[in-house]
Structure 1
Amino acid sequence: MNTKSALPVNISDFKKLINRNKIYVDKTKVIKNIISLRGTYYFLSRPRRFGKSLLVSTFKELFEGNKELFKGLYIYDKWDWNKTYPVIHIDLNKIKSNTAEKFEKSLNFLIDSIAENDFSIKLKAELSNDKLTELINNIHANTGKDIVVLVDEYDKPILSNISDEDLAIDIRDSLKDFYGVLKSADDKLEFVFITGVSKFSKVSLFSDLNNLTDLTMDSDFSTGCGYSQEELETYFKDYITEISKTNEISTNQLLELIKQWYNGYSWDGKNFLYTPYSILSFFDNDGTFNNYWFETGTPSFLMDLIKKDINIDVLFDKNLKLYGTFPNFDIKNLDLKTVLLQTGYLTIKKSKIIPGELPSYSLDIPNKEVRESLFSYILGSYINKTSETVYPIAQDLFRQLIAIDEDGFRRSLETLFSNIPYSHSELSDMEAFYHILFLSWMKMIGFEIQGEVIQLKGRVDAVLLKENIAVILELKFSTTKSMDSMLDEAITQILEKEYYKPYQDKTIILVGIAFKEKDIKCRIEEFKD
């Protein structure tokens, strides 16, 4: 078996990875195909920890002509190693940006460091955009060669401050001027490749790069970051074999579990990928399933946005769609669906292309890791509990529901609502608030949720489906009615309006839940025809 030392956990530098004999999943065919387009400006959006930095680093070593690093890789005998280019590699992960002043100083320092350390050039300009102009001009004059510019995580300073709208806009405008340098230097540039998590509107940021080619949703280049099923089974075969033996399950069973947990990311609805960080961490931890990607850092602005908009139906909408191109990210008008898609909490599951019409894409949460992590994080934030304490209570709820354990189910729900901060109990629409919390809990443990299902005789609050079980849920909230009368009303409504009829091939559990401010009571019955 390959040793753990071969796993490139937390290594995003191509040269270091190769020199340390780490596993490199060969992406050089995609790289060559991008370069073969013979354009100049390219952009790729992918979530964090998805391999963007390694991709950029591989471009760098290729253009600099470091042939020995590419032995055995697809591109080795398909590249003209006699042609080399000076490469300006700008990594905005390194930028400090908690104030506009720190951002400008940090960006200036980064460009000065690149000039001095990589090209022995001492810059005289004071502003960052002028420094970049001076650097490009000096390199071109000194070498007589066109230049390659690689920008990694171009949007990191903006996203780090997205909750502070004024600061985010200041940084965005500064970066607009900074990146605007690239268009004016067009005659000196061979290739420009820019990566980021989000796609800000070209009008807002890339207005000067109006010929920027966006590769984000292009099927021909969709596997440039992330691991495909074939790559997983080829490059990590020994790890898979060893873990399946240790756990006394078949290789196919293990692969199916890995797929459920970590696969499912797609930007074209055809090619589905694994998160590299999660896969590498999984093998590095002897095949222990855990929420590795999520734990590396959930953007705080995402939770701020979710809390700001109590109507988070996009998380439960089975028919969520995207039409046209990858949506833009607007600082002044953050859209939850766009944010979730660009940050990796939603992905494209299916594409539909009809001539003469805008393409349509079906969206969903990628996999079990993201689903469990996201909903436990949401719930933990609302009820003042850590994600680690939320999960076991969620499992108790499931067991109690299936066992028709009304008292246990009620106690677990009371645990859920007992720690809700007082400010939440004053919300104008408490019914919607409780509805979201309860559905989030059930979503986390794997139920397929059909919220507010419209049927011929009425509208049911939610149907929860899992394997051979259908849970028909009706929530009632009132400040005047008794808890028992609300429960009677909930169960009677389900029965009289025959909400159960479409699910009679399953075990049907009827659930009525009554809320009265912070008080809660429930009734659970198995439906008998």
Structure 2
Amino acid sequence: MAKVVSIGNQSFESIREKDNFYVDKTLFIREWWDSDDAVTLITRPRRFGKTLNMNMLECFFSNKYKDRGDLFDGLEIWRDEKYRELQGTYPVIFLSFASIKQVRYDETVIKIKDELIRIYNEYDYIMKSGIYNANEKMQYQSVCVGMSDTVAQEALKNLSNYLSRYYGKKVIILLDEYDTPMQEAYVNGYWEELVGFTRSLFNSTFKTNPYLERAIMTGITRVSKESIFSDLNNLKVITVTSDEYSKCFGFTEDEVFAALEEQGLSSEKEKVKLWYDGFTFGESRDIYNPWSIINFLDEKKYKTYWADSSSNGLINSLVKTGSSYIKIMMETLLKGETIDVPIDEQIVFSELDYSEDAVWSLMLASGYIKVISSDELTGDRRKAVVYKLALTNFEIQLMFENMILRWFSPAKMETNEFIRALINGDIESMNDYMNDVALKTFSSFDSGKHTSEKKAPENFFHGFVLGLMVDQTENYIITSNRESGYGRYDIMLEPIDKTNEKYPGIVIEFKVINPRKENTLEETVASALEQIEEKNYDAELIKRGVKEENIHHYGFAFKGKEVLIDGR
């Protein structure tokens, strides 16, 4: 019987007690412990199981869970007798910065202090012991509302001292989503202030803490060592390009396919792979984001689950306000092609304002793009590497297309009118809409001097039209730049219901006027339509069951901001 999929449950204890759907990641415990690293920072995109894995570590090591081996019974780690003996034997401090998203520096520090107070309240019973003197008890009580920054910065180190003496063992510290406040600080303009506070907190906790056994931090980005980790020479950093822990976060293809079989969805493997596969960690390929998979298992519908689980505000802002170079690269990615850029995985948020390459570093860390291959960049003092990058998967492509739609589309009503005109073959309405869009918005996405003006409108409208069709994913399978017949079409819309003549098959070809061959847009659009027929782009649609008489051809011709659409 298929297990119940619990959406949003990040409690390892709850999932195991209720026997909910769970993909076994307990070998992460062994890999981390066997590494013998003092302080480990692991970066992964959001919704990739970081919090659940950290909670799993707490359940395994914390003496609060002594004699709770039942939580691990039947899982991989429990087959190793050595690790059975480790379960529930350490004092563990587990804290999270995930909810610290304030717009002001003072409010952020207050929230960090509140998290420290919560941890201290959890362990206040140890102060009833006679092993602490009066000064130590006063210090413990000083971690309270209104505490100074200095008290807060030393709080975790001091608590490590008290716990290690009480239990006779050094502590394990788990800090989840360490970089959430840093991202908010960048967006809201108090980065430098927060760097100073956080540097002192981390140095005290992870560097000069003699009561620390091990520590793990998780986050989305690797924030520059020169900022908050300046003195942490004992820090082991694991990023999305590292081989360590490559299968501990996210689901492997074998795990996904096994889950589909368990849920009676074996026939969906190919489409699930198209939508949600594509993440790469180190040498591990075919990693799926867990959030989309568990939501698909629950709803059994194809949606942009992961892309919609956040506002994507920072990426949206960086691309929208970025230079023509960034927009050109985004056009390339949206066409299904790759880009080659140098990547320095140490994110320096202040560089995002002027470093175009820093944007790609952030997008890679955040999971929006994936590594195809890499080459070392010689002679660069920061040892950047040139990566060949592509959009991660179909879900991410839809997210960006929808993002562009929100930037450039006029009213939603007008968008719906264009889609209706496209499906119904209303050429006049399509021309009215597209020429209005070109007049009002094309200059906002001008590719500038660094690309061919000839290709700029074609690239823009290609991505734009794809974005307009996002809402049609329930009616159409939408593909771009794929082979069919004797060439590669620009956009193809394959109706999901081949028997419903209301939704025709659609093939679209974009062309910019070539003054050497054509004198008018009419000649250019005719050339586009001829190409569709000569290259037999209908072949793929007909092969998949679409009737030849229910296929519409559209040619889009461009000359600067002028657009002409015709169809057959």
Normalising by the smaller structure, the TM-score range is 0.7 to 0.9
Partner of 1:8: 6
CA deviation after TM superposition for structure 1 residue 516, in Å: 6.4
Compare 434-443 and 191-200 and name the one that shifted more: 434-443
Q: State how far apart, in whole Å, the 1-side matches of 2:51 and 2:416 are.
A: 32
Q: 1:277 to 1:385 in 2, by over 3 A?
A: farther
Q: State how far apart, in whole Å, the 2-side matches of 1:118 and 1:329 are.
A: 35
Number of residue equivalences = 483
Deviations 1:353-391 (A, max 9, x none): 9999987643211111111122112221232556x9969
Is 1:314 aligned to 2:329, yes or no? yes
Is 1:300 aligned to 2:330, yes or no? no
Contact 1:92–1:154 (CA<8 Å) still a contact in 2? yes
Deviations 1:9-41 (A, max 9, x none): 101111121122211210111331122111111
Q: 1:194 to 1:140 in 2, by over 3 A?
A: same
Q: Secondary structure at the match of 2:232?
A: coil
Q: 1:507 to 1:219 in 2, by over 3 A?
A: same
Is 1:413 aligned to 2:434, yes or no? yes
Contact 1:350–1:362 (CA<8 Å) still a contact in 2? yes
Partner of 1:513: 557
Partner of 1:270: 284
Q: State how far apart, in whole Å, the 1-side matches of 2:55 and 2:373 are.
A: 31
Partner of 1:177: 200
Contact 1:269–1:351 (CA<8 Å) still a contact in 2? no
Q: State how far apart, in whole Å, the 1-side matches of 2:259 and 2:537 are.
A: 41
Partner of 2:38: 40
What are the residue-to-residue correspondences of 1:453-492 with 2, within 5 Å?
464=490, 473-475=510-512, 487=521
Contact 1:447–1:465 (CA<8 Å) still a contact in 2? yes
Q: Structure 2: any 5+ residue segments left out of the alignment? A: 128-139, 353-357, 468-477, 495-505, 540-552
Is 1:103 aligned to 2:105, yes or no? no
What are the residue-to-residue correspondences of 1:203-242 with 2, within 5 Å?
203-216=226-239, 217-239=241-263, 241=264
Please report the TM-score for the alignment, with normalisation by the length of structure 2.
0.73
Q: 1:515 to 1:313 in 2, by over 3 A?
A: same
Q: State how far apart, in whole Å, the 1-side matches of 2:460 and 2:2 are.
A: 44
Q: 1:284 to 1:491 in 2, by over 3 A?
A: closer
Q: Structure 1: any 5+ residue segments left out of the alignment? A: 245-250, 451-461
Counterpart of 2:74, as a letter, is G
Q: State how far apart, in whole Å, the 1-side matches of 2:415 and 2:157 are.
A: 52
CA deviation after TM superposition for structure 1 residue 350, in Å: 4.3
RMSD: 4.2
Q: 1:353 to 1:340 in 2, by over 3 A?
A: closer
Within the candidate set 329, 352, 367, 2:347 is matched to 329
Deviations 1:398-417 (A, max 9, x none): x68xx8x8546425525755
Partner of 2:543: none
CA deviation after TM superposition for structure 1 residue 308, in Å: 1.1
Within the candidate set 58, 69, 88, 1:67 is matched to 69
What are the residue-to-residue correspondences of 1:351-362 with 2, within 5 Å?
361-362=387-388
Within the candidate set 164, 167, 190, 1:140 is matched to 164
Q: State how far apart, in whole Å, the 1-side matches of 2:347 and 2:415 are.
A: 31
Q: Secondary structure at the match of 1:214?
A: strand
Counterpart of 2:102, as a letter, is S
Q: State how far apart, in whole Å, the 1-side matches of 2:39 and 2:75 are.
A: 25
Please report the TM-score for the alignment, with normalisation by the length of structure 1.
0.78
Q: State how far apart, in whole Å, the 2-side matches of 1:131 and 1:321 are.
A: 45
Contact 1:268–1:350 (CA<8 Å) still a contact in 2? no
Compare 63-72 and 421-430 and name the one that shifted more: 421-430
CA deviation after TM superposition for structure 1 residue 504, in Å: 5.6
Partner of 2:78: 76
Within the candidate set 281, 284, 290, 2:303 is matched to 290
Contact 2:279–2:286 (CA<8 Å) still a contact in 1? yes
Q: State how far apart, in whole Å, the 2-side matches of 1:48 and 1:341 are.
A: 12
Identity of aligned residues (%): 20
Q: State how far apart, in whole Å, the 2-side matches of 1:322 and 1:34 are.
A: 32
Partner of 1:372: 398
Q: 1:42 to 1:410 in 2, by over 3 A?
A: same
Counterpart of 1:175, as a letter, is T
Q: 1:261 to 1:218 in 2, by over 3 A?
A: same
Q: State how far apart, in whole Å, the 1-side matches of 2:286 and 2:27 are.
A: 18
Is 1:88 aligned to 2:88, yes or no? no
Q: Secondary structure at the match of 1:162?
A: helix
Q: State how far apart, in whole Å, the 2-side matches of 1:31 and 1:149 are.
A: 14
Q: State how far apart, in whole Å, the 2-side matches of 1:214 and 1:427 are.
A: 37
Contact 2:174–2:217 (CA<8 Å) still a contact in 1? yes
Q: Secondary structure at the match of 1:522?
A: strand
What are the residue-to-residue correspondences of 1:340-355 with 2, within 5 Å?
340-350=363-373
Q: State how far apart, in whole Å, the 2-side matches of 1:378 and 1:343 are.
A: 19
Deviations 1:327-347 (A, max 9, x none): 222212213212221222112
Q: 1:319 to 1:277 in 2, by over 3 A?
A: closer
Q: 1:223 to 1:427 in 2, by over 3 A?
A: closer
Counterpart of 2:338, as a letter, is N
Q: Secondary structure at the match of 1:7?
A: coil
CA deviation after TM superposition for structure 1 residue 131, in Å: 1.9
Partner of 2:210: 187
Q: Secondary structure at the match of 1:295?
A: helix
Q: 1:69 to 1:209 in 2, by over 3 A?
A: same
Partner of 1:382: 408
Q: State how far apart, in whole Å, the 2-side matches of 1:395 and 1:264 are.
A: 33
Q: State how far apart, in whole Å, the 2-side matches of 1:383 and 1:148 are.
A: 51
Q: Secondary structure at the match of 1:209?
A: coil
Q: Secondary structure at the match of 2:27?
A: helix
Contact 2:458–2:510 (CA<8 Å) still a contact in 1? no
Contact 1:124–1:131 (CA<8 Å) still a contact in 2? no
Counterpart of 2:328, as a letter, is D
Contact 2:557–2:565 (CA<8 Å) still a contact in 1? yes
CA deviation after TM superposition for structure 1 residue 90, in Å: 1.5
Deviations 1:26-75 (A, max 9, x none): 01113311221111111111111111110111111111154221110000
Is 1:338 aligned to 2:353, yes or no? no
CA deviation after TM superposition for structure 1 residue 423, in Å: 9.4
Counterpart of 2:158, as a letter, is E
Counterpart of 2:142, as a letter, is K
Q: 1:321 to 1:424 in 2, by over 3 A?
A: closer
Q: 1:169 to 1:375 in 2, by over 3 A?
A: farther
